[in-house]
Amino acid sequence: MEQLREEIRRHDRLYYEEATPVISDREYDRLYKELVNLETQFPDLVTPDSPTQRVGGKPLKAFEQVPHLVPMLSLDNTYSEEEVKNFYARIQRLLPDEKIPVVIEPKVDGVAVSLIYENGRLRQAATRGDGTVGDDITQNIRTIRSVPERLRGAAPKLLEARGEVYMDKHGFEKLNDERRKAGLPLFANPRNAAAGSLKQLDPTIVAKRPLGVVLYGTGATEGVDLDVHSEVFPLLKKLGLAATERWWVAKSVEEILDAIHELDGIRHNFAYQTDGAVVKVNSFAQRERLGFTAKSPRWAIAYKYEAERVETRLNDIVIQVGRTGILTPVAMLEPVSRCWSAEARLGARRCITRMKSNAKTFASAIQWLLKKLAKSSPLLSKLLNRNDRVARSRSILPNTFMASALCVAARFAETRIL
């Protein structure tokens, strides 16, 4: 039975960590079912680290709060390459006459977690929380097959591995398709789906979600002898952990920006969402001297890429009545995937301000669009002619008029928005 468990663990490692499966899904399922049947016949031989035990335990009433051994601080972030240059110039001023190599790695858009292994066995998993205390999500993490119960080889006495739990992008689409067919609300994006999954008190629900983990650093350690951050990735992989798959070492601002640009060109090929690049000083000794601010380390910064833009179609404008009687126009859009986020509704005012037109302001965008479309719609032309008189008399709300006009516009022309 233990031999069968080891075989399944090996296939888990090949599939989830190395992306080189050697058997089909059907063959894997056969092995897994065989182990389930054996453990059903001989329940006394079931072990806590068996692959079958990843389906989760009993539901929790609430998450226990656990302190972090080392604070999990957030990073300063920027959307400006100029600020990246300023960051590197700043650490050069703080460490004059020193060479300061930095590591550039993907900024994973997931849920920050800490995994603590003691003598090679997973003891605790926690969320970032407020940076000092987080939720104990050990039961939920155990359901993720890419998280090993035991480290491979000669494991250190203590290893706190830090990274992000994510939902596989293709798994996210499949999950939303299943929820759509079941009439359930769709998840907005993979990051929110992953966060919602980890907050489930019932680990059997988490086990059904296509979650993975990617690790990129360490917290508290004992028996780990590392001098630079770039040595962390091969160590994690050697121990059987899923580590960041692509990273760069740079020794100048030019090399940093080149790495950021190169990452932007390949990041959509990863299984997980990314929204930026993280720049970290490579040397742990230099990090120690650079220190921290109240909220973040001085030796790292996150550069965030520009938000992705996509086109869709404005299908309709509907009026929503609030509890206080306020009427709000809501744009009904053709569903699109933007950064793997399904969007189908948008406030009408926000919608118009994003319109692909030569209008420079919101007001001129409304006027430009309606006058252009009025040529093909007598009804819309009539509404426009009454606009000034209606607005002055306040017989209907401006929002209502706008929504009515846009409803007509949407029905008489194909309006594309950004």
Please give the positions annotated as active site.
Answer: 107
Q: Which residues contact 345 (CB under 8 A, 6 or more apart)?
A: 330, 331, 332, 333
Vertex 322, ends 317 and 327: CA angle to 5°? 45
Q: Which residues contact 24 (CB under 8 A, 6 or more apart)?
A: none
- What is d(CA 56, CA 49) in angstroms, rounded to the nearest whole number? 11
- What is d(CA 404, CA 418) in angstroms, rounded to the nearest whole number? 21
- What is d(CA 280, CA 274) in angstroms, rounded to the nearest whole number? 17
Q: Taking Cα atoms as reference points, which of 73, 68, 216, 194 lies closest to residue 141? A: 194
Nearest-Å Rg of the Cα atoms of the chain is 27
Strand 158-167 to 111-118 pairing: antiparallel
CB contact at 8 A, 125 and 136: yes
Residue type, 209: R
Beta bridge pairs of residue 136: 126
Q: What are the DSSP calls for 132-167, one per residue?
A: SEEEB-HHHHTT-TTS-SB-SSS--SEEEEEEEEEE
CB contact at 8 A, 257 and 81: yes
CB contact at 8 A, 152 and 239: yes
